[in-house]
Every structure is written in C-alpha cells, then in structure tokens.
Amino acid sequence: MARVTEDEVRAALTSVLEPQSGKSIIALDMVEGLVVKDGNVGFALEVPAERGAALEPVRQAAEETVKALAGVLSVTAVMTAHKPAGSGAPAAKPAAAAAPKEKAGTDDIPGIGSIVAVASGKGGVGKSTTSVNIALALAGLGKRVALLDADIYGPSAPRLLGLSGKPETDGKKLWPKEAFGIKAMSIGLLIEEDQPMVWRGPMVQSALEQMLRQVEWGEIDVMIIDMPPGTGDAQLTLTQRAPLAGAVIVSTPQDLSLIDARKGLNMFRKVDVPILGIIENMSYFICPHCNERTDVFSHGGARDEATKLDVPFLGEIPLDIRIRETSDGGHPIVVAEPESSFAQSYREIAQAILDSVADNQRQAPKIVIQ
Ligand code: ADP
C-alpha cells in the first residue's frame, strides 16, 4: 500500500475547522512540525493557552481525519499552547514600568541553596513540563527540592502536581504545598484565575518576592523557578528579583524557537546570570506502534546551537504522548513511570544541572560591588 504523503495530510486537514472562526486549521496556520514517515504522522497544533481545553475536540478531529486516510499507520497530534511572550505581551509593559531601577532582591535567601530558573523563548515548548519533571528528578537524586511556578501567563504547577486551594497562612508567612516529596508554590494559587491580564504584570513582581521570601520553605538544596515564557522586559525584571545560581533554556528543535532561545540566553547574559545549558524538548518521536524513532522538526538543532553559542547541551526529551498524559493528569512521568527511559533522561538532565551549578560556583567567585 502506498504510504501517505505530507501534501495529502495537509489537504485532509483543511477539512478540520476551528469553531470560533469557522476557518480551517491549515488556513489559520495552526499545524506545526508535520512529520510524515513510513505512514506514521506527527504534528503539533498551536493554540492559545486559554483555549487549550476548548480546542481539544479539534485536536481529536485532526487526528481522526488523518487516521482515516489510506496509508496511515499512526497519528499523534500534540497541542502546544502558544502563550503571549516577550516584549509584545500585554503584561510586559506595566511590569517593566513598575520595576525598580536598582538590582533588588538579590540577597541570598536563608535556607535555600541554589536557585535555577527554567526559561523559554516562547510558550508551548514544554518549559513547565520540563521544570516539574526536573524538580522531581532532583528529588529522586536525594535533593531537597522546591518548585516555584512564576509563569504568570499560564501557571501549570497546580495542574502538573495536582495542587489546589489557597496556601495556608498565618497572615505573615505562607506555607508551601507538598507533592511527591517536593515543596511547591504557584502564582496560580495566589492570583485569581479571572484576574485581567493587565493587572498581572505589576502583580507578578510582588508575588514573586512574596513566594521567595515570605514562604516557609525550610531547608532546600535546589529551587527550580518556572519562568514566564519569553524574553521581554517582564522576564528580565524577574531574573533580577531572585538570586539565581543559573538558568536553563528549554527549546524545541524548530528554528524559530531556537532564535528565541538565543534571545533568552542574551537576556540572562545581560544580567550576569550563568547559563547552565539548553535542553531540547520534543526532540524526536518514538512511534508507539512500531517503536521506530522519528526525528521531529529539525532534531538536534538545539545541540548544534548550544555548541555554536558555547553553552552546555544538557540533554534531549522526546515528543511522547505519555509525557503529555502523565503531566496533564497530575502525575508527571518521573514519578508515574520512574523506570521509563523518559524518567531516566530527566534524571540525567537533573544531574547535569547539578554538575553545572557546582562548576559555576567553583569557577566564578562572587563579585561584590560596594
Ligand atoms: P510551556 O510551559 O512551555 O508553555 P508546557 O509544559 O505547558 O509548555 O507544555 C505544552 C504542552 O505540551 C502540554 O500539553 C504538555 O503536556 C505537552 N508536552 C510538553 N513536553 C512534551 C513532550 N516531551 N512530549 C509530549 N508532550 C509534551
């Protein structure tokens, strides 16, 4: 039987309509990273973060439509939430305007060892999924771990770790939530969900400060901060509020987000935060039926780019439905399937981050400007 072609897949997908506009998902340019190989089809649907749940039927319809084509063995459509990012984001301007000029908030926080920021050039690349799985992997390596979810545009820690309810407080201090052996706090637990975006920018500054300094974290070896996506002023200000040991950038192999990743690197360089390295997410795809490995998008792009930019490459995570299902179901893969190769990859990346932090601390004595 002749195997399906990319053109046939695209032609079929023109019949799948996005309900709000009535236009096809092809016309709206929602289909990204289409891979067709030996009858196995994979692609991503880029959707606005807030419409992710509402558009799930569209993702399913897209999968079903392609599955019905002759010569198709398997179809995986992944929804990626494209959130407002960078300086064009609505909240970025007020946040920047509210930012103090001096380098505030960079004193060490008692009890907290190293703080590592996880950033990305844009939304939907898997930054939050990666942050949570790395935090859990670090705990698996015996570290006392905190996860601070500062992703104002779409806080995901509550969903990924199954957290809910306002944090306990005595009026002065807040207590972190606990899940799977790590402590966690999310801006999503502090800010009302229906809070208009325009208010969020200024609020994120004080919320981050509060999450860093008013939460009873106890003794923590490593804190992971899930940053808002993007490289605009709001993000830059955030990096100045926390005494960071370093930053990692999550990127898909696609060229576009690599350009964004480069912007992310520059943002951290501007404020003298060491770059611990780049992680390539949705790096390749293993067909669940035939176990054959398929390179998604332009696999290896992040590794090449890391070499070019002279920053460490920390590892790659494949595009796999189990990573999505376990994360979105509140049991990230590192704890849901600790024996899996995916969990192993996250543990290797976690170890690479620890090594990189230790290296940086050895090489770079802290310069104190009086
Ligand atoms: P970001 O924080 O960059 O916006 P998320 O972590 O929320 O991205 O991920 C966006 C979507 O992609 C989620 O539905 C998530 O489950 C899915 N996802 C992330 N990484 C992977 C992966 N390696 N394989 C499959 N799905 C993934």
pLDDT per position as a tens digit, 283-327: 777 666 777 776 655 567 778 888 888 889 999 998 888 898 898
Which of 47, 56, 78, 225 to mutate for ligand 1's pocket (most ligand atoms within 8 Å of CB)? 78
Query: Which residue, 159, 135, 158, 160, is CA-closest to 146?
Result: 135
Out of 2-11, 181-190, 239-248, 333-342, give the one with best mean pLDDT. Answer: 333-342
Decide whether any atom of ligand 1 lies within 6 Å of the 84 Cβ: no
Q: Contact 208/190 with Cβ under 8 angstroms?
A: no
Tokens encoding 90: 């609505």
Q: Which residue has the tokens 């325009």?
A: 198
pLDDT of residue 86: 36
For the chain, where do the domains classified as CATH 3.40.50.300 start and end? 106-357
Is residue 255 pLDDT above 70, yes or no? no
pLDDT of residue 95: 32
Average pLDDT over residues 62-67: 93
Q: Contact 315/349 with Cβ under 8 angstroms?
A: yes
Atom from ligand 1 closest to the CA of residue 122: 3
Who contacts 110 (Cβ-Cβ below 8 Å, separation ≥6)?
none
For 92-147, write each residue's pLDDT tens digit.
223 333 333 333 345 678 899 999 999 998 888 899 999 999 999 999 999 999 99
Q: Contact 327/133 with Cβ under 8 angstroms?
A: yes
The fold adopted by the segment(s) 106-357 is Rossmann fold (3.40.50)
Decide whether any atom of ligand 1 lies within 6 Å of the 129 Cβ: yes
Which of 129, 187, 287, 346 to mutate for ligand 1's pocket (most ligand atoms within 8 Å of CB)? 129
CA 365, chain centre distance (Å): 30
pLDDT of residue 196: 55
Decide whether any atom of ligand 1 lies within 6 Å of the 85 Cβ: no
Which of 80, 186, 256 to mutate for ligand 1's pocket (most ligand atoms within 8 Å of CB)? 80
Quote the CA–CA distance of 280 and 303 in Å, as a whole number. Answer: 7
Mean pLDDT value across the chain: 81
Quote the CA–CA distance of 272 and 254 in Å, as a whole number. Answer: 27
Tokens encoding 123: 């939304």
For 65-76, write each residue's pLDDT tens digit.
999 999 988 787
For the chain, where do the domains classified as CATH 3.30.300.130 start and end? 6-98
CATH number of 6-98: 3.30.300.130
pLDDT of residue 296: 58
For 196-241, write each residue's pLDDT tens digit.
555 555 566 677 778 888 899 999 999 999 998 888 777 777 788 7
Quote the CA–CA distance of 121 and 127 in Å, as a whole number. Answer: 10
Q: What is the pTM of this model?
A: 0.71
pLDDT of residue 194: 62
Residue-wise DSSP of 88-153: GSTTHHHHHHHS-SS--S-S--TTEEEEEEEEESSTTSSHHHHHHHHHHHHHHTT--EEEEE--TT
